[in-house]
Structure 1
Amino acid sequence: MSSLSPHRNSDEPPPAEDRDYSLRAVDRVCAILNLLQESVDGITLNEVVEATGMPKSSAYRYLWTLEAHRYVERDEATGLCRLGLGFLGMQSRHLELLRERVRPWLEGVRDEFGETANLGLLDSDHIIYIDIIESRRGVRLAASRGDRDPLHSTALGKAITAHLPEARVRELLERSGMPARTERTIVTVEDYLAELDKVRAQGYAVDDGENEADGRCVAVPLLGTNLPAAISLSAPAARFPQRDVAGAAKALRRIAEQISTRPSGEVA
């Protein structure tokens, strides 16, 4: 007569030594994302293959799928992959903290100059407005929160892309195109790269009637936030002459420096 095993309720979990809840596909995705998170400059397809032991064709499909969902960005020129902006939705609290920290400063610079102040973020190949503190004047230059604008024609776009690798800037411009928004819009990659040299040298970016024919805007990057973000002041060009741009830029740079000296989770 054979012995019977002790009865175990089917709803009870198996003993710890018998448990294996892992899913191979999820394990592979986590391995790839861990590699991306640890990399500064990005990783290649071959590095994914070596680190995970996956066949090259499988690694390519995983990266392609992650890229399609914007969790991975791939540099067409170098083939390097890095974490994409799809994760920003998961960092909504981080963005909200940034908005809360920056808002009092933007209100201050709005009151100082009487013009609209903005907080913008790189989202794929465009700028998205995270916060806008509108001028109190009847006629003003202002977007709406959530609006998107091109990189190549805006001061916010220039301020952010000036601190990205050139290969990535070229890729973003190729993806978005460089349509002429006005007669003053920069429409060639080489001219835009030359403009970014100027931005880095002077520490701020200017949209001089390039996005709106009658508008002028100055922006500086928020380098201490670990996000591709910038702040700006925008106004009708008639009220914001070129002679006032440097002063506005100085005020914005003071804000950026104050924000950079605070821990990422600290609210002003």
Structure 2
Amino acid sequence: MPTSSASTTDSARSSSNGGVQSLERAFDLLERMADSGGEVGLSELSASSGLPLPTIHRLMRTLVACGYVRQQPNRRYALGPRLIRLGESAARLLGTWARPYLARLVEETGETANMALLDGDEIVYVAQVPSKHSMRMFTEVGRRVLPHSTGVGKALLAGFPPEEVRALLSRTGMPAATEKTITTPDGFLAALEDVRRHGYAVDDNEQEVGVRCLAVSVPNSPTAAAISISGPAGRVTEAATEKIVPVLQQVADELSEALASQNHA
């Protein structure tokens, strides 16, 4: 194992972009753990990151001491509970940034606008601006749903490899929310192919009877995010879809640019 002086040297060493190398490595390991479902072994982290085991062990020990990682009884490492507070605060902030863009969606489409993130295997809604119509759709901010029956879920998962989608569906199951909910992995993968082909996702009475939802992913978002509009099926018709989708795509692009500039600030 490295001596404490070697550890101090590594912690203070700057990376090529002016950051602290050990900090960059620690965050990279957290990202890799999240990509692996939240629990990994040291050898897996070493193989995926290319870092030597002693370096990973030292970084993980620090993350465990801070509460950002915990060690399981089986000696594997899992993301720690202290990350939850950070994630919830960041999601709220992301929702705050998105609200002006969602307000524009409501203004231009007349329907309720939402923003949602993929959190683990679930969709969580982080922002909403309601329609001004008396008949309108409400989704509570903070509500969690399974991806297979939602437009935002389809929009988000369309960018994932099929094997990852199948693995997620096997973990969550595919319960039917309505008679129109897709309940087979093959059917859902076919729907994702449609999303990629058309550039947007549709929830056609699949989450709630009488409700139609159109969704697109936010390109290059720091975390997988999508925006959507939802309204009564009688208003969100095929003809309305042709007008709404370009607005959705434009707002998603503008939101993506705003998040990128915030990221580089």
Q: TM-score, normalised by structure 1?
A: 0.71
Task: Please state whether the residue corresponding to 1:156 is helix, strand or coil.
Answer: helix
Residues 61-76 of structure 1: matches in 2 within 5 Å?
Answer: 61-63=74-76, 65-66=77-78, 69=80
Contact 1:224–1:259 (8 Å) recurs in 2 = no
Q: 1:116, 1:187 → 2: CA distance?
A: 26
Deviates more, 1:150-159 or 1:33-42: 33-42
State the Cα RMSD in Å. 3.3
Matches of 1:48 and 1:60, distance apart in 2: 18
Other-structure match for 1:197: 193
Identity, in percent, stands at 34
Matched, 1:221 2:217: yes
Query: Which position in structure 2 is the counterpart of 1:234?
Result: 230
Tell me whether 1:259 sits opposite 2:255 in the alignment: yes
Alpha carbons of 1:120 and 1:40: their partners in 2 closer, same or farther (altered >3 Å)? closer
Cα 1:141–1:97 change in 2 (3 A) is same
**Which residue is equivalent to 1:246?**
242
For residues 111-260 of structure 1, the aligned pairs below 5 Å read 111-260=107-256
For residues 71-82 of structure 1, the aligned pairs below 5 Å read none
CA-to-partner distance for each residue in 1:25-83, whole Å, 9 max, x for gaps?
xxxxx9886445479976975444663267xxx999343x506x58xxxxxxxxxxxxx
2:103 maps to 1:90: no
Cα distance in structure 2, aligned partners of 1:224 and 1:40? 18
Higher helix share: 2
Name the SS of the counterpart of 2:117 in structure 1.
strand
Structure 2 CA distance for partners of 1:257 and 1:210, relative to 1, 3 Å: same
**Number of paired residues?**
222
Q: Secondary structure at the match of 2:148?
A: coil
User: Counterparts of 1:116 and 1:146 in 2: how far apart (Å)?
Assistant: 16
Match runs of 1:47-62 below 5 Å: 47-48=44-45, 51-52=52-53, 61-62=74-75
Deviates more, 1:34-43 or 1:233-242: 34-43
Larger Rg: 1
Structure 2 residue identity aligned to 1:157: G
CA contact (8 A) 1:219 1:233 kept: yes
What is the CA-CA distance between 1:89 and the residue it aligns to? 3.7
Q: 1:96, CA displacement in angstroms?
A: 3.7
Question: Cα deviation per residue 1:136-174 (whole Å; 9 max; x = unaligned)?
Answer: 222111211111122001000000011122222112111
Structure 1 letter corresponding to 2:204: D
Aligned partners of 1:214 and 1:222: how far apart in 2?
26
For 2:180, the aligned partner's letter is R
Gaps of at least 5 residues in structure 2 are 9-23, 58-70
In structure 2, C-alpha distance between the alignment counterparts of 1:60 and 1:167, rounded to whole Å: 29
